[in-house]
Structure 1
Amino acid sequence: MRTQRSGPGTTAQHALDGLRRAIIAGDLRPGQRVRQEEIAEGLGVSVAPVREALRVLEQEGQVVYRPRRGYFITELCANDLAEIYELRRILEERAVRAALPTLDEDAIERIALAARDCAEAAERGDVAAELAANRRFHFGMLESPDQVHTMRLIRLLWDSTEAYRAMYYNSPEERTLTLHAHDEILDAVRRRDADTLVAELEAHRARALEVLTAVLDAPE
């Protein structure tokens, strides 16, 4: 696994960041065992912060613990993924309809900046940067102060599929289609057209689900 060593003062947060990078980069793939000693050595830390970071990822649904075997990157089936995306559809429609009227020009500009960052990362082939920008893009139009519990659930659903989202963004064709979808979504945000925005977001999710389901159903 490719990791980045850190200097003095390394903490569990550094281990957590390293594990997240490995999942996004595809160094740790769904179903793969997480070798704690190897991770710790690569990050230049002891096993203790790695173990603490894995407990955080377990709570997010990104890893599972199997007694006497250790931690494994969560492996989803097509039904799991469909359920997660259906829950996202329900919660994100609720969130975006509540948040859209509260977005000021600065907020819309931050969403537009995230879209540009996503496009630039896609052009470079930097999947990690694109995923981070994509998350800022989507959450920028979902979050509002009075939706704390809704957003907590949405974050959990996003986190639980991060490894699969990385697989999706590794396809150049899908990266291109995603940028086009972002343009349509941003246009609806600028026009404050809630119905069109909901429809564009649903089409965007449906495409991702279609591609990821094909990945899950592909023969080994």
Structure 2
Amino acid sequence: MAVIERSKSLTERALEIIRTEIIEGRHGFGSALSEITLAEELGISRTPVREALARLQQEGLVVVRPQRGTFVFQLSADEYVEICDCRTVLERAAFRMAVANDREALIKRWSAICEAMLKAREANDTAEYLRQDSAFHEGLFEHCHNRFLRDSYRLISGRMAALRTYIGAEPDHMAKSFREHFEITEAAAAGDIEKGLALLEGHIGLKEGSYWRIKNENIAPTSLK
């Protein structure tokens, strides 16, 4: 039993580290991931690394190609449009439910996240800002009280976080993102669902800001490296 618990702990730790490295861009889109290299870097055997990569495959962050190896995910142009559209549908539904069912808790969480975003910007800590950005959107699904909606979002949340890292350092996108998080929070606090939905659509919609730039300039598909 002790061996099993230790193995699970190592797998979870490897999973956390590799997932973070993909999301934060340390392993580029489409890059190969070597079990041997990862195991050596983490100071563990290949077994927990292999198990961690299997979990990341389920999350959509890696792709296993028979006879070739394991690679960080990439999106075709069509897939990029589809994942952004899927995100918009899920977040709009979660926003309605969260504001209607658990507004006070949602606003409390969002207000704390907005303050953390402010501190991250003042410290010029882009990585921390992007972590808070992800937490902001995850908050919708924590407070919508619909586990199926939450589970659906988890299927794309890792890939969206990695895309967020890709565009996060762009000054125009960062300024727009920062302002709109506060505006969405204010609309939710006022119970104005329609205004909040409009703001959310402008915040995450494919045809807005940097997400549209990625699609329009054809830098999203296989060239995200």
Once the two structures are TM-superposed, the CA of residue 123 in structure 1 deviates from its matched residue by: 3.6
Separation in 1 of the partners of 2:144 and 2:224? Answer: 45
Q: CA RMSD in A?
A: 2.3
CA–CA distance in structure 2, aligned partners of residues 123 and 70 of structure 1: 42
Q: For residue 110 of structure 1, what is the amino acid of its counterpart?
A: R
Deviations 1:5-54 (A, max 9, x none): xxx98611111111122113311011100122221111121111111111
Alignment of 1:125-136 (within 5 A): 125-136=124-135
2:47 match:
48
Name the CA shift for 1:93/1:184 in 2 (closer, same or farther; >3 Å).
same
Instruction: Encode CA deviations 1:189-216: one digit per residue, 9 max, x unaligned.
Output: 1111111111111111123421332332
For residue 196 of structure 1, what is the aligned residue in structure 2?
195
- Return the TM-score normalized by structure 2: 0.85
Q: Which runs of 5+ in 1 are unaligned?
A: 1-7
- For 2:183 and 2:76, the matched residues in 1 are separated by 30
1:157/1:219 CA distance change after superposition, 3 Å: closer
For residues 45 and 54 of structure 1, do their structure 2 counterparts lie closer, same or farther at Cα, with a shift above 3 Å needed? Answer: same
Distance between the aligned counterparts of 1:91 and 1:70, measured in 2? 32
User: Match of 1:118, as an amino acid?
Assistant: M
Deviant stretches of 4+, over 4 Å:
217-220
Cα gap change, 1:124 to 1:46, in 2 (>3 Å)? farther
What residue is the counterpart of 1:72 in the other structure? 71
Spell out, residue by residue over 1:156-185, the C-alpha distance to the aligned partner (whole angstroms, 9 max, x if none). Answer: 122233322211113233222210111111
Give the TM-score normalised by structure 1.
Answer: 0.87
Residue 140 (structure 1) aligns with = 139
Matched, 1:161 2:165: no
Aligned equivalent of 1:93: 92
Aligned residues: 213
Report the secondary structure of 2:67's partner residue. Answer: coil
Alignment partner of 2:32: what SS?
A: coil
Counterpart in the other structure of 1:5: none
Q: Percent identity?
A: 31
Aligned partner of 2:149 in structure 1 is: 150
1:106 Cα deviation after fit: 4.2
Instruction: After superposition, give the CA deviation of every residue in 1:137-169 in whole Å (9 maximum; x if it has no partner).
Output: 122234346411111111212223332221111
Change (3 A) 1:104 1:198: closer
